[in-house]
Chain A
Amino acid sequence: MKKKLILLLLTAAPLLSFTPPKGYEVGDRVQDFRLKNVDGKMVSLADYKDQKGVILIFDCNTCPYSKAYNDRIIALHTNYESKGFPVITINANDPQMSPGDSFEHMVDRAKSKNYTFPYLIDESQEVARAFGATNTPHVYLLTKSGNDFVVSYIGAIDNNPRQAESADKRYVEEAIDALLSGKAVPTKKTKAVGCGIKYRNA
């Protein structure tokens, strides 16, 4: 009996390579964070308290999905910042596991694509874990509610990674448009194939 129990414990424990962090669900209040931007300055969610919300995107330099969506991410900021929903991007990839996602490379990317929004580095990966972000890009649409930011939508930007023009479900845009007209978000959570965030083993 003892042998069986030990065997059971030994096999069960390391069975999972990686348990995705649980993180926030739609409707949850979000804790403030403070991360370093590519210009060296610190940026907090609290800095955005006068906005209607924030389009928070876990992103990176190297993932082909991130590259495919890069122009669409820039367009979201262009189209929605003036409507009260600016973009903030966060890179949580461990640079040891993914050298192309180092801070220096982030600075280069922001410069070459003329980012007008923050591209923050999550060095401890705590913010990504708190949110439960799994892929890049991974959107958490936050809406101001009283003194807090609440999660309104989680997931993909749209339903066609390959071609922006062929996407017939533009989840983030639809969510923001609904919120701006006082309606409920039609699709609250979606999934997308993508590169896993390079988390260091906890």
Chain B
Amino acid sequence: MKKILWFVVMSLAWFSSPAQAPANARIVNLSQFTDLMSRPSGNIMVLNFWATWCAPCIQELPLLEQLNKSSPDVDVLLVSMDLDLDPDPEKVYRFIARRQLRSEVLLLNASDPNSWIGRVEPSWSGALPATLVINPHTGKRIFVEGQLKEGELEKMLAKVR
């Protein structure tokens, strides 16, 4: 009886323990994020704004994953807006594990959306998905709102290189 009880308790503890943050995911606040965006050196950055509940965002993920896999000179950063509606990052961590996402995932923890959306990109309405490509060396950037089409990322990269 004692053994069964112990087993049950340990199982419950195991299943209710919070998901570990995957190695490729971290939570960033607004100033950390804007610092990253304005870094003067390093690889070209592809910042994709998405969320686990956003269907068109999920549909375009394979294009971003493929880019991440094929281009070591490009940093693909999947910026999750999930924390905007749910302070618990576990849903995102489980999504990353389930989909085996390899790209870097940043969970943006920033309140008061109107105060920073324009700073990321003045023309952005705030709607997801959105993709911003930045060349840190030249400061050249290109932004697109809406679901990415096949080949679109390559065209955007060509424009900033």
Whether chain B is bound by chain A comes out as yes
Q: Are B128 and A194 in contact, CB atoms less than 8 angstroms apart?
A: yes
Partner of A159, one of B49, B53, B56, B114: B114
Q: Can you list 27 contacts pairing A with B, beta carbon distance less than 8 Å?
A: A15-B152, A15-B159, A17-B144, A17-B146, A17-B147, A17-B148, A17-B149, A18-B145, A20-B125, A64-B51, A134-B127, A135-B126, A135-B127, A156-B114, A159-B111, A160-B111, A160-B112, A162-B84, A162-B85, A191-B125, A192-B117, A192-B126, A193-B49, A193-B81, A193-B113, A193-B127, A195-B54
Q: Are A193 and B53 in contact, CB atoms less than 8 angstroms apart?
A: no
Check: B33 CB closer than 8 A to any chain A CB: no
Q: Are A193 and B117 in contact, CB atoms less than 8 angstroms apart?
A: yes
Q: Which of B103-120 contact A (CB under 8 A)?
A: 111-115, 117-118
Q: What is B's interface to A at a CB cutoff of 8 Å?
A: 49, 51, 53-56, 81, 84-87, 111-115, 117-118, 124-129, 144-149, 152, 155-156, 158-159
* A19 → chain B closest CB, angstroms: 8
Check: A68 CB closer than 8 A to any chain B CB: yes
User: A68–B82 Cα gap in the complex (Å)?
Assistant: 13
Q: Are B126 and A169 in contact, CB atoms less than 8 angstroms apart?
A: no
User: A11–B117 Cα gap in the complex (Å)?
Assistant: 28
Apart from A15-B159, A20-B145, A156-B113, 13 more pairs, CB < 8 Å: A11-B155, A15-B152, A18-B144, A20-B127, A65-B85, A68-B85, A98-B55, A135-B126, A161-B113, A169-B112, A191-B125, A192-B113, A193-B117
In the complex, which residues of chain A have a beta carbon less than 8 angstroms from the beta carbon of B126? 134-135, 191-194
Classify the secondary structure of A's interface with B.
loop
Q: Which of A168-194 contact B (CB under 8 A)?
A: 169, 190-194
Q: Which of A36-90 contact B (CB under 8 A)?
A: 64-65, 68
In the complex, which residues of chain B have a beta carbon less than 8 angstroms from the beta carbon of A18? 144-147
Q: Are A191 and B114 in contact, CB atoms less than 8 angstroms apart?
A: yes
Q: Are A191 and B112 in contact, CB atoms less than 8 angstroms apart?
A: no
Check: A16 CB closer than 8 A to any chain B CB: yes
* B158 → chain A closest CB, angstroms: 7
User: A162–B85 Cα gap in the complex (Å)?
Assistant: 5
Check: A155 CB closer than 8 A to any chain B CB: yes
Closest to B154 in A: A11
User: A193–B54 Cα gap in the complex (Å)?
Assistant: 12
* B90 → chain A closest CB, angstroms: 16
In the complex, which residues of chain B have a beta carbon less than 8 angstroms from the beta carbon of A20? 125, 127, 145
Q: Are A196 and B111 in contact, CB atoms less than 8 angstroms apart?
A: no
- Nearest 10 A-B pairs (CB), nearest first? A18-B146, A196-B127, A134-B125, A17-B146, A190-B114, A191-B117, A191-B126, A135-B127, A193-B126, A159-B112
In the complex, which residues of chain A have a beta carbon less than 8 angstroms from the beta carbon of B87? 162
In the complex, which residues of chain A have a beta carbon less than 8 angstroms from the beta carbon of B144? 15-18
